Structure 1
Amino acid sequence: MSKPSIPQGTRDFDATVLRKRNYIFSAIKNVFEKYAFEPLETPAMENLDTLMGKYGEEGDRLIFKILNNGLSDPKNIDKAKIGFEKLLEGKSSNELTERALKYDLTIPFARYVAMNIGKLTFPYKRYQIQPVWRADRPQKGRYREFTQCDADIVGSHSLLIEVELANIYHEAFVQLGIKNYELKINSRKILSALAKLCGGADKMTDITVAIDKIDKIGIDKVKIELSERGLTQEQIDTVEKYLNISGSNDEKIAQAIALFGDSAEANRGLEEITNVVKKATDANITVDFSLARGLNYYTGIIFEAKAPAEVSIGSIGGGGRYDDLTSLFGVKESMPGVGISFGVDRIYDVMEELNLFPENIGKSVKAIFFNMGEQEANFSFGIMQQLRSKGIACELFYESAKISKQFSYAEKKNIEYAVIIGSKEIEQNYCQVKQLATGVQELVILDNLFDYLSTK
């Protein structure tokens, strides 16, 4: 029998880890709620045609497809063979798979809006905290199953939305102690203008997919990839000039204006960036024209939140505007949208590495009642239930055992206090309370036990 294991790129979470993750969820959720977003959940799986073609060629490759039920049925063998042959050719096959695990929360959200457009009040503001799956190569900070925290608004063209989302990033990161984050900003309108400067709008995907990798592979390899994608040397030189824009935010914008000249599309993108940077004054915004976010659905401002430079984690969030996303699902009327996402798993790694979690976050049980015998345990159980009814988390050691064993159990669980009630204590209506971290032990009248524990 093989040793138990879990799929590569997935993890189990014990109590200590979950408390830290819930601390992150709670901080982000509180900010979402403060900005009037309401919660939503969608299924773990979506129909395959809901997801395919929405993320670009790179993203489509990372979608986890789910095999249809009943493929082992002899009647379905031939269909399955045909479906598998189609998959080998890089095509989708309804005979083999019709569903997939969701790749992100944005496309399922757009699908939800399209299905419920007559019921929702617009602008519709929702947040969503759920796991997503990607068939990626596992590495530090990159998992096949991970949790996203998204906030999206649909139904408004106002740039104040982008300003609010930048502020949400700032408030959440500061609340979590990640003060030296960097929020990069660019516009797909500028990238579209770059494609046209390089010969036409059909170059957009080739250029964005390549430059989206610049942090990982460097500019020289980006130029090689652009060449392999069919760009001429002159076009590659234009992209390189664009990527070499540097300086302060104002200096970068001035250089971009000079590069694009009278391009109306580029100027609109630059005006939008300038507007957001000026209004979101609290956020640590950096204009970064190399930011591409290689997802096809973005149409305007795009964001990427980067971890502090002292940790090698990279992106801890991202998003942008997708003004025509719901049209993919047959919505005829204009339904502009903007959204951001927090990468909770990477945020967790950042906080661990920088030691940002509160010291007492791993403590959930305030007190343990030692088992001093059957009669004493029954008496202690009644006292314990009174404390629980008033909000004090506590437990009773179930079995009668040596005191040393009970102390060892309490210390391993990081419990703060041990409450000892023997026959003498029952007769005289008091208990002994020992603070396990310091070893200090005190006599406490039972009627005062709640006040004693709640003030410590």
Structure 2
Amino acid sequence: MATKPGIPKGTRDFSPVEMAKRNYIFNTISDVFRLYGFQQIETPAMENLSTLMGKYGDEGDKLLFKVLNSGDCMSGISDADLKECTPNQFAAKLCEKGLRYDLTVPFARFVVMHRNEINFPFKRYQIQPVWRADRPQKGRYREFYQCDADVVGSDSLLNEVELLQLIDEVFSRLKVRVSIRLNNRKILSGIAEIIGAPEKIVDITVAIDKLDKIGLENVNEELRSKEIPEVAIEALQPIIMLQGSNEEKIETLRKVLSASEIGMKGVDELSFILDKLKRNPLRSELELDLTLARGLNYYTGAIMEVKALDVPMGSITGGGRYDNLTGVFGMPGVSGVGISFGADRIFDVLNQLELYPADSLLTTQVMFVNFGETESDCCLEYLSRLRSAGIRAELYPEAAKMKKQMGYADSKGIAYVALVGETEMAEGKINLKNMHTGEQVLLTPEEVIAHIK
């Protein structure tokens, strides 16, 4: 008995209709990327583990899919090794490669390897799948696509301004109402400094980044579990719960962080970005949110995250500045900033809100009915003419019963069926049936093209 087929948890198949919807998202994002001057690249699905490890923090490293070495990967592994090795040590002996966790670290590796071929500032975009050994749940997959745009070789904050405008443009085109949240890692470092726990910056950011998921009390419990002093936790409360307009929050931060040089630099950076956006306001809601931390360790400046307003869903876009990323690959001093659209979550949002335009499905527009060899030869000529005019057309491959052929057209959502029998062939015309109204009209091939267009 054959084994019932299946796919790994956290992965999905996509039907033709779903692929049409996904391509609508990819094409919309790509169009905006190019509009802002970004150029496309691709990198391999697999990277050396030495490239990936240590770039995402301890939690991120645990979620890396590791690939067993080719051939007899167990050769040289003793029974003692099997008993004594920790899982990470064992993986280090058996695995040299891993599936990429995101597109940013591979991009930093790309920049270092191709530095002599790149003109800086380099604006790249990349749309490819990534993999994370996460627990699958609603809106969270083990295999999913990211759509990234990054600028490297420039420390100008105008790049952050443009990326926020780019985000706004994409979601305006997709007709999704979103809230864009903005913060700065320098501000978080300043907060850790003034509450007397600068060495705990990573623990603090990882914990407060979970505020909207687990609530304030659980965040405080996590901070205590990391041995952060109670006095520091107490000092943190009014800061992470800060209320008011963006301008009011900036003014409060200037007072609270006045004793922290790095904190004040972060405030100045955010103030610059907000000032530039006042001159060209976004259509989307923009909120300065001090609880936004983004757990990835490589962010050093502005950080941003996007959530849909009308669908309960996690972050659908995120990003920030990462001044130090290429330095770990031997190329210090190259500043970078980037964003990543979560295409799979955006796909789920558009599905729930039914926001796909009717013409985004791009199904066949006209199907020719097959009455037999003589008629199909004539239809092939007409098909060529319609396709040359940009009309998506097909011929049913067999002279099956009419009911079967019409059922096929109906199941594919084809708008028109073309009937060419002996009478139509004699007149050089096509009997065109509208599948929605049932109306039939006798037209020349040129009139069919004009009618459908």
Q: When the two structures are superposed, what TM-score results if normalisation uses the length of structure 1?
A: 0.95
Structure 1 equivalent of residue 205 of structure 2: 208
**What is the identity, as a one-letter code, of the residue corresponding to 1:322?**
Y
The answer to whether residue 227 in structure 2 is matched with residue 230 in structure 1 is yes
**What is the identity, as a one-letter code, of the residue corresponding to 2:406?**
F
Structure 2 equivalent of residue 317 of structure 1: 317
**How far did 1:72 drift?**
6.1
Structure 2 equivalent of residue 195 of structure 1: 192
Structure 2 equivalent of residue 441 of structure 1: 440
Select which of 250, 253, 266 maps to 1:253: 250
Write the mapping of 1:290-329 to structure 2, written as runs, cut at 5 A: 290-308=291-309, 310-329=310-329
> For residues 157-213 of structure 1, what are the alpha-carbon distances to aligned partners after superposition, in whole Å with 9 as ceiling and x for unaligned?
1110100000000011101111x2111110000111122223343211110111111
**What is the identity, as a one-letter code, of the residue corresponding to 1:250?**
E
- Residues 153 and 338 in structure 1, CA contact (< 8 A), matched pair in contact too: yes
1:388 and 1:406 map into 2 onto residues whose CA distance is: 21
**How far did 1:94 drift?**
3.7
Return 5+ residue gaps in structure 1 as ranges: none
Structure 1 equivalent of residue 392 of structure 2: 393
**What is the identity, as a one-letter code, of the residue corresponding to 1:153?**
V
- Residues 184 and 287 in structure 1, CA contact (< 8 A), matched pair in contact too: yes
**What is the identity, as a one-letter code, of the residue corresponding to 1:253?**
I
**What is the identity, as a one-letter code, of the residue corresponding to 2:36?**
Y
2:405 and 2:137 map into 1 onto residues whose CA distance is: 41
- Residues 73 and 94 in structure 2, CA contact (< 8 A), matched pair in contact too: no
1:208 and 1:80 map into 2 onto residues whose CA distance is: 41
**How far did 1:239 drift?**
1.8
> For residues 206-225 of structure 1, what are the alpha-carbon distances to aligned partners after superposition, in whole Å with 9 as ceiling and x for unaligned?
10111111111111001001
**How far did 1:38 drift?**
0.5
1:331 and 1:13 map into 2 onto residues whose CA distance is: 40
The answer to whether residue 71 in structure 2 is matched with residue 70 in structure 1 is yes
**How far did 1:257 drift?**
2.3
**How far did 1:80 drift?**
9.1
Aligned residues: 448
Structure 2 equivalent of residue 160 of structure 1: 158
1:376 and 1:277 map into 2 onto residues whose CA distance is: 66
The answer to whether residue 18 in structure 2 is matched with residue 17 in structure 1 is yes
- Residues 126 and 152 in structure 1, CA contact (< 8 A), matched pair in contact too: yes
Query: Secondary structure at the residue paired with 2:85?
Result: helix
> For residues 217-243 of structure 1, what are the alpha-carbon distances to aligned partners after superposition, in whole Å with 9 as ceiling and x for unaligned?
111001001001001110111222211
Structure 1 equivalent of residue 380 of structure 2: 381
1:92 and 1:148 map into 2 onto residues whose CA distance is: 30
Residues 438/85 of structure 1: CA separation in 2 closer, same or farther (3 Å cut): farther
Structure 1 equivalent of residue 118 of structure 2: 120
**What is the identity, as a one-letter code, of the residue corresponding to 2:130?**
V
Write the mapping of 1:60-209 to structure 2, written as runs, cut at 5 A: 60-71=61-72, 76=75, 78=77, 82=81, 86-88=85-87, 90-91=88-89, 93-178=91-176, 180-209=177-206
Query: Secondary structure at the residue paired with 2:431?
Result: strand
The answer to whether residue 52 in structure 2 is matched with residue 57 in structure 1 is no
> For residues 265-318 of structure 1, what are the alpha-carbon distances to aligned partners after superposition, in whole Å with 9 as ceiling and x for unaligned?
11111111111112124333100000000111000000001111x210121100
Residues 251/446 of structure 1: CA separation in 2 closer, same or farther (3 Å cut): closer
> For residues 19-62 of structure 1, what are the alpha-carbon distances to aligned partners after superposition, in whole Å with 9 as ceiling and x for unaligned?
11111111111111111111010000100010110011111111
Query: Secondary structure at the residue paired with 1:184?
Result: strand
Query: Secondary structure at the residue paired with 2:115?
Result: coil
- Residues 363 and 412 in structure 2, CA contact (< 8 A), matched pair in contact too: no
2:93 and 2:63 map into 1 onto residues whose CA distance is: 20
2:9 and 2:214 map into 1 onto residues whose CA distance is: 25
Residues 242/447 of structure 1: CA separation in 2 closer, same or farther (3 Å cut): closer
**How far did 1:83 drift?**
6.8
2:211 and 2:414 map into 1 onto residues whose CA distance is: 48
- Residues 190 and 264 in structure 2, CA contact (< 8 A), matched pair in contact too: no
- Residues 363 and 414 in structure 1, CA contact (< 8 A), matched pair in contact too: no
> For residues 375-434 of structure 1, what are the alpha-carbon distances to aligned partners after superposition, in whole Å with 9 as ceiling and x for unaligned?
111111111122112211111111111111111100000001000000121112222100
Query: Secondary structure at the residue paired with 2:89?
Result: coil
Query: Secondary structure at the residue paired with 2:120?
Result: coil
- Residues 417 and 433 in structure 1, CA contact (< 8 A), matched pair in contact too: yes
> For residues 241-272 of structure 1, what are the alpha-carbon distances to aligned partners after superposition, in whole Å with 9 as ceiling and x for unaligned?
21111111112222222322321111111111
**What is the identity, as a one-letter code, of the residue corresponding to 1:48?**
L
Residues 83/451 of structure 1: CA separation in 2 closer, same or farther (3 Å cut): farther
- Residues 45 and 100 in structure 2, CA contact (< 8 A), matched pair in contact too: yes
Answer with 385-394 or 286-295: which moved more: 385-394
Structure 2 equivalent of residue 29 of structure 1: 30
- Residues 68 and 98 in structure 1, CA contact (< 8 A), matched pair in contact too: yes
Residues 59/148 of structure 1: CA separation in 2 closer, same or farther (3 Å cut): same
**What is the identity, as a one-letter code, of the residue corresponding to 2:354?**
N
Indicate the percent of aligned positions where both proteins have the same amino acid: 46
2:188 and 2:413 map into 1 onto residues whose CA distance is: 53
Residues 80/22 of structure 1: CA separation in 2 closer, same or farther (3 Å cut): farther
**How far did 1:359 drift?**
2.1
**What is the identity, as a one-letter code, of the residue corresponding to 1:419?**
A
1:30 and 1:350 map into 2 onto residues whose CA distance is: 20
- Residues 79 and 95 in structure 1, CA contact (< 8 A), matched pair in contact too: no
1:84 and 1:360 map into 2 onto residues whose CA distance is: 60
Q: When the two structures are superposed, what TM-score results if normalisation uses the length of structure 2?
A: 0.95
Query: Secondary structure at the residue paired with 1:280?
Result: helix
Residues 79/340 of structure 1: CA separation in 2 closer, same or farther (3 Å cut): farther
**How far did 1:360 drift?**
2.9
- Residues 122 and 155 in structure 1, CA contact (< 8 A), matched pair in contact too: yes
1:126 and 1:87 map into 2 onto residues whose CA distance is: 39
Query: Secondary structure at the residue paired with 2:180?
Result: strand
**How far did 1:85 drift?**
5.0
Return 5+ residue gaps in structure 2 as ranges: none
**How far did 1:154 drift?**
0.6
Structure 1 equivalent of residue 331 of structure 2: 331
1:98 and 1:225 map into 2 onto residues whose CA distance is: 34
1:52 and 1:345 map into 2 onto residues whose CA distance is: 25
Residues 20/204 of structure 1: CA separation in 2 closer, same or farther (3 Å cut): same
**What is the identity, as a one-letter code, of the residue corresponding to 1:244?**
M
**What is the identity, as a one-letter code, of the residue corresponding to 1:182?**
S
